[in-house]
């Protein structure tokens, strides 16, 4: 009986720690989003692809927009938030990746992903949203839901690498450093 009680206390502490971390990530996310266009001091780089709605072989019509929000100090740059939208022949997609704002350093790639969100709308009218929270580079928690015309199904998704969407946090970070 004592062993079971101790095990339950340990599980409760782990769940509380995860909840606290997710709360901190949510507060950080809200702070960043709230100050994107004011004195927060982030720079913005935007990339627009296929702005003329050209048709591409085997792809069809598509458009993409990627926006990087980043900081700079003393010659150092670091990525804070990336958003993207995509309109493709089979679906529309919106995504966000939030990186923990590190101390400036000369080393590239030190940004740590703390949150990732992807929303997809397929042409059958189904909307799916994924949320992933990270701590120290490890998946902390995930949640998702798909809205069908007659019901909403909630589920726990695997890691983002198991899904086919346009960008991963690593690809976005690599693209950011290729242009900065």
Which pLDDT does position 10 carry in this prediction? 39
Nearest to 63 by CA among 43, 79, 81, 47: 47
| Residue whose entry in the numeric block shows the structure tokens 């926006």 | 67
pLDDT (0 to 100) of residue 14: 44
Could you tell me the pLDDT band of residue 7, with boundaries at 50, 70 and 90? very low
pTM confidence score: 0.82
Instruction: Give the pLDDT confidence score for residue 1 in this predicted structure.
Output: 59
In sequence order, the 6+-apart residues with CB closer than 8 A to the CB of 120 are 91, 92, 93, 127, 128, 129, 165
How large is the average pLDDT for residues 46-63? Answer: 80
Instruction: Please say if the pLDDT value at position 8 is more than 90.
Output: no
pLDDT tens-digit series, residues 100-157: 876 655 555 567 899 999 999 988 889 999 999 999 888 999 999 999 989 999 999 9
pLDDT digits 0-9 by tens, 58-105? 667 788 999 999 988 777 788 999 999 998 878 889 999 999 876 655
* pLDDT of amino acid 13: 43
Q: How far apart are CA 4 and CA 46, in angstroms?
A: 54
Q: Express each pLDDT in 10-45 by its tens digit.
A: 343 444 557 899 999 999 999 998 878 766 678 899
pLDDT over 90 at 55, yes or no: no
Ordered strands of the 127-135 beta sheet: 43-49, 63-73, 76-87, 91-100, 112-122, 127-135, 138-147, 152-155
- Write down the pLDDT at residue 111: 78
């Amino acid at each position: 009986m004592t062993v079971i009680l101790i095990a339950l206390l340990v599980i409760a502490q782990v769940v509380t720690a995860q909840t606290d971390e997710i709360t901190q990530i949510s507060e950080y996310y809200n702070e960043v989003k709230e100050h994107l266009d004011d004195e927060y001091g982030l720079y913005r780089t935007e990339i627009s692809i296929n702005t003329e709605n050209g048709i591409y072989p085997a792809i069809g019509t598509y458009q993409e927009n990627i926006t990087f929000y980043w900081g700079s100090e003393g010659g150092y740059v670091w990525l804070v938030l990336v958003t993207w939208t995509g309109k493709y022949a089979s679906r529309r997609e919106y995504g966000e990746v939030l990186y923990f704002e590190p101390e400036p350093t000369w080393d590239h790639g030190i940004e740590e992903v703390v949150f990732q969100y992807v929303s997809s709308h397929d042409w059958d009218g189904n909307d799916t949203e994924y949320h992933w929270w990270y701590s120290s580079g490890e998946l902390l928690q995930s949640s998702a839901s798909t809205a069908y015309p007659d019901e909403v199904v909630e589920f726990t998704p695997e890691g983002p690498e198991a899904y086919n969407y346009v960008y991963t946090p690593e690809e976005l970070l690599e693209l950011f450093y290729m242009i900065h």
